[in-house]
A = this chain, B = another copy of it.
Amino acid sequence: MSVTTPRGFRAAGVAAGLKASGAADIALVVNDGPDAGVAGVFTANRVKAAPVLWTQQVVHGGVVRAVVLNSGGANACTGPGGFQDTHATAEHTAAALTAASPRLMLGAGEVAVCSTGLIGERLPMGKLLPGVRDAVRALGRDGGPAAAQAIMTTDTRPKNAVAQGSGWTVGGMAKGAGMLAPALATMLCVLTTDAVAGPETLDAALRAACRVTFDRIDSDGCMSTNDTVLLLASGASGIAPTEAELTAAVTAACHDLAQQLIADAEGATKQIAIDVVGAAGEDDAVEVGRSVARNNLVKTALFGNDPNWGRILAAVGTTAAAFEPDAVDVAVNGVWVCRGGAAAEDRSKVDLSGRDVTIRIDLHAGDAEATVWTNDLSHAYVHENSAYST
């Protein structure tokens, strides 16, 4: 149930001392082939970390045989020196893998690099590079769970997923908690599959999957500098699914991981699904859902178990979506507290004692719909994010 569930992949997670806690902080995923297909989706933030700039080039090259990931430092806003560190990490990984398995003959340009942690500090390369060598030695067909452990930062638990095709499989791991954001939650995610698929098919499947999963979770509206989602294909199953079949399985794995990310968001006490229906178009539905998901007043109200639909309506009102203010209905956990833009059922009927909250917004402007997932804004979020780097 991890990145090593599909055939053709090995992985490892080791501790190199990047984290003061001594917890695992270097992960390695290797694609033993026969194929080395790859697709990637990256942060839309214009301030991109060095590993993002590197890995975009590597993915553009079309062949990725290994992904090396570190927690304990984002290597973002680190200037030319930071980019050299990423390059050195890729070269060192390629050399160590080649030394361990000479038939691989890896080049640095086939190694993707991902980093996560504090922004603005150089990585301790004296610890990182020996850690890469340890990871190479630790590689195994059962190493997926250890890799998922090693990429955690403020995550309280590792995130793994798997989706089954007919004779082929998609596996995945992800990290991220807080800073989950627009146009990619802040996160690292590596997906693997033993399906046979060309680069266009992999790219189409990954983009379609991200669009309705990671792109629709929005924990705190803050977009990271390091978001990376990679899909590696080994072809080891010998089976070539259709693009639709591959998309469905990748989407299932991404959905599973996205829900795990939101469930583990920093300090959250509520897991909130915002279903927007009756929209004139899907873009409108997403815009409305995202506006509500990012509204601090809505999020604090839900933390306080308060079905404050007025704040929801005020958030809807800031969008450019097609709707008439006096035609909007809002339900919280199934109780239609607002009909036609005004109070309807008694808000005291709303049960907010559980962790799951569903907000349903009917714009009465069409037939399109979308769901955006978020969490509440709690004391623990403030605490965790005011104390993170100090």
Contacts and interface: CB of A to CB of B under 8 A. Distances in A.
A121 interface: yes
A314 to B, nearest CB: 5
Interface in A48-100: 48, 74, 76-79, 81-82
Contacts of A325: 46-48
Interface centre among A119, A121, A179, A385 (most CB of B within 10 A): A385
A341 B77 contact: yes
A340 interface: yes
Interface in A280-322: 294-297, 300-301, 303-306, 308-311, 313-319
Nearest to A380: B382
A28 to B, nearest CB: 26
A29 interface: no
A120 interface: yes
A389 B306 contact: yes
B47 A386 contact: no
Given A79-B341, A225-B317, A296-B220, A310 B118 contact: yes
B313 A77 contact: yes
A224 interface: yes
A192 interface: no
Interface string A317-359: 1110001011000000000001011110000000000000000
Contact of A304 (B74, B81, B338, B386): B386
Interface centre among A297, A317, A343 (most CB of B within 10 A): A297
Given A78-B343, A79-B342, A341-B77, A314 B382 contact: no
A318 B45 contact: yes
Given A297-B220, A318-B45, A119 B389 contact: no
A222 B78 contact: no
Contacts of A381: 296, 300, 382
A383 B303 CA distance: 9
Contacts of A79: 326, 340-342
Contacts of A379: 379, 382-383
A115 to B, nearest CB: 13
Given A46-B325, A296-B221, A343-B120, A338 B389 contact: no
Contacts of A47: 313-314, 316-317, 325, 341
Nearest to A295: B222
A106 interface: no
Nearest to A221: B296
B342 A78 contact: yes
A390 interface: yes
Nearest to A343: B120
Given A45-B318, A340-B79, A119 B311 contact: yes
A314 B45 contact: yes
A91 B171 CA distance: 68
25 contacts: A45-B314, A46-B323, A46-B325, A76-B314, A77-B310, A77-B341, A78-B342, A79-B342, A119-B310, A119-B311, A119-B313, A119-B314, A178-B297, A179-B297, A221-B296, A222-B295, A222-B297, A225-B317, A296-B296, A296-B381, A300-B381, A301-B385, A303-B382, A304-B387, A306-B389
Given A45-B314, A297-B385, 5 more contacts: A46-B317, A120-B309, A121-B343, A301-B388, A304-B387
The 6 closest A-B pairs by CB, nearest first: A119-B310, A304-B386, A47-B317, A79-B342, A300-B385, A120-B310
Interface of A: 44-48, 74, 76-79, 81-82, 118-122, 178-179, 182, 220-225, 294-297, 300-301, 303-306, 308-311, 313-319, 323, 325-326, 338, 340-343, 377-379, 381-383, 385-390
